[in-house]
A = this chain, B = another copy of it.
Amino acid sequence: MSLPHAILTALLEKPSSGLELTRRFDRSIGFFWSATHQQIYRELGRLEQAGLIRALPQAADGRGPRKAYEVLPAGREALVAWVGEQQEPKQIRDALLLRLRAAAVVGTGGLGAELRRHLELHRSQLAEYREIEARDFAPERVGEENRLHHLVLSGGIQLESFWTTWLEDAVRTVAELDAVDNAVDNGVDKEV
C-alpha cells in the first residue's frame, strides 16, 4: 500500500502527468521508492477512480498531449492517515547475501567479479547522492521541509556507504579464499 501514497506525495509536491511522475520516480522519490511507468499509470487510474486525485481540467480537454493530475482533499486526508500508520520494518531480502551463503556450500564460482561490479555500482550511487547533497543542502538552506528531505537523503548516503564498505571487505575475503583454493589446486599448499 505504499505506491499510491508515494504518488500522492509526489502530486502534492507538484501536479504532474503520468510521464512527469515516471521521470520523477527515476530520481528524487525513486531513490527510496522505485516504480515503473506501468505501475504509475495503473495506480493513477485507481486513485482517480477512488476520488483521491483528479485530472486537471484545463490540460485534460485542451487536447494537449498530456494530462496532469492534482490531489483532491480526500487524497490529502488519506495521506495524512497513512503517515500515522504503523508498519513492521521489512526484513532484509538480499540476493547477494544469499549467493555468498550458497557459495559457502558449492564454491565461489564467478562471485568475486559480481561483488566488484556491485561495489562500483554502489560507489557511483553514493557519489550521486553526495552531489545532490552538496547542491541542494548547503548549510544555509535549512527550512523545516528541507530538514526532512535532507534526513532522507542522508539515509541514502549512509546506506550506500555501508554497502561500499561491506563490499570492499567481501571482495577481499572472496579473493583470499580463491587464492587459497588455487594454491591447493596447484599442490603448493604445503609451502604455505
Contact = CB atoms under 8 A, between A and B. Distances in A.
SS class, residues of chain A in contact with chain B: helix
B95 A2 contact: yes
A121 B29 CA distance: 26
Interface residues of A, number: 73
A86 B33 CA distance: 23
Copies of chain A in the complex: 2
Given A86-B114, A152-B101, A32 B94 contact: yes
A109 B94 contact: no
Given A148-B177, A155-B97, A173-B151, A111 B83 contact: yes
Nearest to A107: B80
Interface-central residue, A6, A97, A173, by most chain B CB under 10 Å: A97
B83 A151 contact: no
A46 interface: no
Contacts of A122: 89
Interface stretch (A49-57, A62-70, A132-140, A158-166): A158-166
B89 A121 contact: yes
Given A83-B102, A91-B30, A169 B145 contact: no
Given A83-B111, A89-B163, A100-B151, 12 more contacts: A8-B102, A32-B93, A33-B93, A33-B94, A34-B92, A76-B106, A83-B99, A83-B108, A84-B109, A90-B94, A92-B156, A144-B180
9 contacts: A9-B98, A32-B94, A34-B92, A79-B102, A79-B105, A83-B111, A84-B111, A97-B152, A104-B148
